[in-house]
Structure 1
Amino acid sequence: GAVFISGVVALTLSPMMSAHLLRAEHVDKGFSGVVNRTFDRFRDWYGSHLDRTLAARPAVYAVWIGLSILAVLFYKMSPSEPAPTEDQGVIFGIVTAPANATIDDTIRYADAAGKIFLSIPDTRFTFQITNPDSGFGGMVLKPWGVRKTPTSAYLPVVQQKLAAIPGIQMVPVMPSALPGGDSFPVSFIIASTADPERILEFAKQIQLKAMQSGMFRFVDIDTKIDQPQAEIMFDHDKVS
């Protein structure tokens, strides 16, 4: 309906209004005259330059070939990653605790992680949010004008110290250069119609292969089947 009405207006009302608003005697007068003369001058300028350019075709071909070669060279010299990781002076830590952990236990181990962050010489301040079985924290380094060590140099040191904390698993990461919904550099989603237990078993096989490759500092699976379970058997004869 809306498309039909728009078509009727375009064929009837718009031409009639244009006929009343745009008079033939107004072409060289007022604002319309200024616009027309400006576009005429621009058309003449563009036409003259285009004629001269087409007359010097060897130079045009030389510039085109040169730009094409430079494009290939810049592509080969550019980093292979989409966006190089920038030194934003921040290291995040993602905390994972056992499913049956209490808030007091997690806080105690998270505080130990905070002390590790503070042990770095260029640490400016730390932050932390702790839940019973998870958490989030990190450290902010001093500005570049004060420190000389890049954040990437501190990352393996922090990771080695955090791995020694027994009660939690805390993975340090640097913020990605490109915004996204995940803080990890690489993430995979396994989708299947199989049972969660079967999918988790397959994910653990991928995790083992990734760790054996030596190309990853850590490999984590966010799906965990670790909640306590109980089976209750009913005696149908007694229940009835």
Structure 2
Amino acid sequence: GSLPKNMEMTMAYDGTVFMRDALKEISKTLIETMLIVGLAVFLFLGSFRTALVPLIAMPISLIGAAAIMQACGFSLNLLTILAIVLAVGLVVDDAIVVVENIERHVREGKSRTQAALLGSRELLGPIVAMTITLATVYAPIGFQGGLTGSLFLEFAITLAGAVIVSGIVALTLSPMLSAHLIHAQGKESWLTRQVNRIFDAVRNLYGRLLDGALGIRWVILVVSLLVMLGAVPLYMLSQKELAPVEDQSGISVFFEASPDSTVEATNRESLEMIKTLKSFPETHHTWSLTTNWGGFGGLIASDWRGRERSTPEMFGEVFGKVSQISSLRVFPRLDPP
């Protein structure tokens, strides 16, 4: 049926707006992360041809992680995309180590094929150990009990899967690509020579610092022990919460009237609360549902890009103003993510 002529229906609160904005922002972050990692790889390797190896390995590892997500029935959500963002920096590590080792053997006079076989064999143990270590660090997060385990299962499995796939790619695809893309005589470009010169200076500085540190090893050991012990009170005194409060463009309110109040009286008193909520410049609209005992409602703020304060910053002032309404007991709250 249709509504009466003097009645109009609109959506009071749309929780998907926050999720769509969050997914859009984290997707943009993923693209920016891949571009920054690609630029960093190119600058530090100093050769476009050499940089192609980890740059090709990166999307292939992420596609493998997506295949694991599909097999496990996971969707693209905030946690899985966050895992992919974190994995971008991890999946290129193995490929960089492999291509650097193969390039070293080529500079020593071996052919590209011999260098690829020897370089990958030398790194088989370290890469397998590193891959297993990282996977065993991340995977247990998803096997915790209760709500935490349910929330982070997809995050943990996606991240661990990306690390495992990157290890496989580093031992299979990266040597093959290196055998074709690395310069046959190990010739270094001007940028490569500049990068190596910087690395040599850093290596020499590190050697001097290490020599100095070894001379006062007991001091360093004592300081390290004190830092470790200091972590205990810091952990005990830190505030703890399941997830940080975020700006979801809304503040919910629950209000309670006197026990003998009528619907008409409660509705009249709730209008004062609505008037208070509308007085904030960040308010886009308000909504409420009223019964004789009280009700609930909320303040929906305008788009976060066009206002100066976030809802957590507004909350203290909102709480103070609605608490001054004498005819109702009003309890505002920020909804958890």
Bin of the TM-score, shorter chain as denominator length: 0.3 to 0.5
Return the TM-score normalized by structure 1. Answer: 0.44
| Richer in helix (by share) | 2
Rg comparison, structure with higher value: 1
Q: TM-score if structure 2 supplies the norm length?
A: 0.32
